[in-house]
Amino acid sequence: MRAPVRLRPLILGALLCLGPGLPGPVDAQADLSRVQLATLPNGLRVLLAPDSLATAVEVGAWFGAGQADENPLLPGITRVLEGLMWRGPGSEERSRRVAAAGGVAGSITTPDLTCFYETLPVSELELGLQIEAARMRSLAVTPSELDAERARIRAERGARGETDPGARGLQRLFAAVFPGHPYRRPPAGTDAGLARITARDCEADFRARFAPNRALVSIVGRFDPAAALALARATLGPLPRRAPPPPRPAPTAAPRVRRSSEPLDSQLRLLFLGWRAPAGGDPDAAPLDVLARVLASGPGSRLVRETAGADSDLLFAKAAYEGRREGGLFYAFGALKPGADSAAVEQALAARIEKLATTPVEDEELERAKRQAESATLFGWQNVHGRGTALGTAQLVEGDFRATWSRLEHIRKLSAADVQRAAARVLKGETRSAVWLVPSRRATQPGAAGGQ
């Protein structure tokens, strides 16, 4: 399972062509060497990533505003603001202009950041900058707009979060592993938290956390760097600085939840195991990503092979590493076959995974996992949206846009000993948490949804 990222509808055509096959190390490194980061007098940063072969240009406005740094008394306000900034005053005109230019637009939200972007023909760079300048300039919120946004978030949370067993279990696992940290909170907030948010709260939070001096504007695709920077200075430079938000309260000390269980409207029993891991910018992020692929990426991976057997107590099992700005999670989850012993399955699955801390992976499976990780990165660079997302995320989460490429180089050089060392650092029984989603009484009634 990938990190929880929400993309608005977008249609990406063949935006970038890098020639036959995947770009090689020399070509990709040379391309990254042309990326530059400039800071305007108002504090706004501009990330320029030119590519003469691109057939489009993308403008992205990135803010280090996510669940992790929102007001703890107003959980969910980041998602509210993302929606209001997307659908608020001027949104219909913005959408009309982007569509008329032949472009597409969208937004990305994660627990660490919020981004708005426009993917446009190369002649429309100024339009993208104008849209993001207007979005940053001001936000006026009416009670009716706020009510509509709250209702939309509640409906979305019900449709995609609480009723999606995977998303629900993963959120409960983050809450167990990060008990005193903002990552424990649901990204879309709670009904009580959403109800407390006022229009004045939204406007104040917008002014503080979505200020130009807290923004990174990325320009990726085909453009002249000098002309683009001059245009950015003219369009974004006049935006005034705003006062920063107050310091976030320090995380409270709280014990890790070792095991929890809650009902699920399904006849399947789902087990989630998690270990707190280093942040996405840590050197061990790459080996942990590869380790997760050894376990559960493709038909040759360990858990896929093991659950395919007739004597397995699991219908399926998956594993992943999710690295965020302030910490990470290595996790696995699976669904039990009817009649399987829950305690035995939990013990066996944990033992299989934690064995990697003391036993090196085989050369064949390591190379397969490294190639999968490498391909995923390179495929993402094949269009301006993927490249912009990689650069912007690396800059905000890891503090350096170059990290998106240096991680790839790190993956290529990984040895079995590197992976085992990272596993030994993270996969410890004394730091493991388990979350069970078990059939509710309603789900077990004859004729219940999902029953046979």
Domain boundary pick from 221, 236, 251: 236
Q: Who contacts 358 (Cβ-Cβ below 8 Å, separation ≥6)?
A: 420, 424
In this structure, are 330 and 385 located in the same domain?
Answer: yes
pTM listed for this prediction: 0.88
In this structure, are 70 and 140 located in the same domain?
Answer: yes
Report yes or no on 50 lying in a domain: yes
Report yes or no on 447 lying in a domain: no
In this structure, are 119 and 20 located in the same domain?
Answer: yes
In this structure, are 54 and 182 located in the same domain?
Answer: yes
In this structure, are 147 and 14 located in the same domain?
Answer: yes
In this structure, are 220 and 323 located in the same domain?
Answer: no
How far lies 45's CA from each of 25, 187, 218, 279, 381, in Å?
28, 26, 8, 24, 22
In this structure, are 314 and 359 located in the same domain?
Answer: yes
Report yes or no on 127 lying in a domain: yes
Q: What is the CATH number of the domain that holds 263?
A: 3.30.830.10
The whole domain housing 412 covers: 259-439
Distance CA 278, CA 424 (A): 12
Domain boundary pick from 236, 268, 293: 236
Total domain count for the chain? 2
Q: Who contacts 351 (Cβ-Cβ below 8 Å, separation ≥6)?
A: none
Report yes or no on 246 lying in a domain: no
Report yes or no on 218 lying in a domain: yes
Where b means 16+ CB within 10 Å and e means fewer, 414-429 reads bebebbbebbebbbee
Report yes or no on 65 lying in a domain: yes
Per-residue confidence (pLDDT) for residue 2, from 0 to 100: 33
Report yes or no on 225 lying in a domain: yes
In this structure, are 70 and 217 located in the same domain?
Answer: yes
Per-residue confidence (pLDDT) for residue 253, from 0 to 100: 81
Average pLDDT per consecutive 10 residues, the chain (452 residues; last block may be shorter): 32 31 40 88 98 94 94 92 89 93 95 97 98 96 94 81 80 95 90 94 96 98 97 98 89 89 90 97 96 93 86 94 97 95 96 96 96 91 93 95 89 97 97 95 56 34
In this structure, are 217 and 286 located in the same domain?
Answer: no
In this structure, are 119 and 226 located in the same domain?
Answer: yes
Per-residue confidence (pLDDT) for residue 19, from 0 to 100: 32
pLDDT in tens, 235-279: 999 999 999 998 888 888 888 999 999 998 888 999 999 999 999
Task: Concatenate the DSSP letters of all residues of 259-310 into one string.
Answer: EEEEEESSSS-EEEEEEEE--TTSTTHHHHHHHHHHHHSSTTSHHHHHHHST
Per-residue confidence (pLDDT) for residue 444, from 0 to 100: 59
Q: Who contacts 65 (Cβ-Cβ below 8 Å, separation ≥6)?
A: 78, 81, 113, 114, 209, 210, 214
Per-residue confidence (pLDDT) for residue 443, from 0 to 100: 57
In this structure, are 269 and 167 located in the same domain?
Answer: no
Report yes or no on 29 lying in a domain: yes
In this structure, are 366 and 423 located in the same domain?
Answer: yes
